[in-house]
Every structure is written in C-alpha cells, then in structure tokens.
Amino acid sequence: MRRPELAAVFEQSQVLGYIGPGNIDEHIEHARAHLDAANPTKGSRWCDLGSGGGLPGLVVGYDRPDLRIVLLDRSTARTNFLDQAVIDLGLQQSVEVLTGDAAVVGHRSDHRGTYDGVFSRSFGSPAITAECAVGLLRLGGRLVVSEPPDPPVERWQQTILHSMGFGELEFLVTSPRFVSISLVRPIRNELPRSWKKITKAPMF
C-alpha cells in the first residue's frame, strides 16, 4: 500500500540527488525487503550505515516504530535532510539521525557494540561495509547487506570475515538479494581502522 507522506519524502530526496533515479515505489519496496531479510526482533536497535537519502532506514523506521533506528551518515547536508524527514514522518520517538564517520562512531562508547543489527545499502565494498559495521555490532548482532542482482562469488571472503569476528555467511537468494552475517566473537580493539586506512587498504 502506497503511503503518500513516505513517497513525498523520497521524491524530495531524489530531487536533491540523495537517492538514485527510478520509480519511488520500487525504491520503497526494495527498502522494505531489508525488513524481510533481517526479521528484527521487537525493540531491537539497528543502524542504517551510510543512510544517505534515507534508504532503507526511514522505511524501516516508518514500518516498524517498535524498533530503535539510527540513521548514520557523514554528510551534514544529508543528515539535515534526514532530520527534517524524521519530523515530517513523525518518527522522532524511534528514529535518531547521527552525523559522523562510521569508522569513528564504531569506537565511541555510546555506539560501540550496542547494535542488534546493521543495515547496508550501497554503502561500499563488502570489505569496507564489514569493517565499518563490526565496531557497531553487539555479540550476536547481524549485518544485513543488499547485494547486486548477480554478485560474483568472491565478493565476500569468509576467512578474513572470520578474523574480524564474524561467523558464517548466509546468502539470501531472494529478489532483491541479501547477505546476512553475525558477529560471533569479540572484535579486535583496532577495528574499525580509520576511514583512510579502510578505503586505501581494504582487508579483502
């Protein structure tokens, strides 16, 4: 069912260049697929990594007001937009907007190891996404990543993911596709590294 107020937010986001071209309803349905892939428990805390124009975080927060959602992005322009979108959609009680570098936020005591899950859609390569997410996840928390339609098998390297503290990869061959992976061991203190190191020398 189309929600006019939700569509209006993403129409504006698209005009501003914060989300890509394409049908707004399809963007929203793709975001909703993250909920199906993650199946988050009631009251759990999730981070939308690199929220940008609000996909999937705003949709998740709109559909599941019982969840605690943090929309994280390093761009002040984007987080200013997200702040207003949260107000327009009446989500102030359950959705928080945070401006910051994910690699830095992952070392902050109020965020490190505090999330039940992390959503990621078009944030970066698997190596960059996994390293930025690992500092945010509690033990047992899950990273849920939207995948390309026909991803190469070697996109995710299980051995290195194990060294980061992750367990086994789960490939959800749905439409759209997702990868889900849980944090099963305490992470090394140095992870995540600085954004410069993550991007210049990704772990895989």
176 prior amide bond cis, ω within 30: yes
Average pLDDT over residues 155-170: 96
Query: Which CATH number goes with the domain that contains 91?
Result: 3.40.50.150
In a domain, 191, yes or no: yes
Domain that holds residue 136: 4-11+23-200
> For the packed helices 4-15 and 76-88, what is the interaxial angle rounded to 10 degrees?
160
Evaluate whether residue 18 is within a structural domain: no
Residue 2 has pLDDT above 70, yes or no: no
The whole-angstrom separation of Cα 125 and Cα 131 is 10
Q: Is residue 145 a part of any domain in this protein? A: yes
**Is 152 in a helix, a strand, or coil?**
coil
Query: What's the number of domains the chain is made of?
Result: 1
Q: How far is CA 101 from the centre of its chain?
A: 13
pTM, 2 dp: 0.96
pLDDT given at position 60: 98
Q: If you average pLDDT over every residue of the chain, what do you get?
A: 96
pLDDT in tens, 8-44: 999 999 999 999 999 999 999 999 999 999 999 999 9
Q: What angle do CA 165, 106, 183 make, to 5 degrees?
A: 25
Query: Domain for residue 129, yes or no?
Result: yes
Q: Is residue 56 part of a domain?
A: yes
Q: Report which of 199, 138, 139, 148 is spatially closest to residue 178, judged by C-alpha positions.
A: 148
CA distance 204 to 156: 8
CA distances from 60 to 47, 108, 163, 191 (A): 10, 24, 30, 27
98-103 mean pLDDT:
98
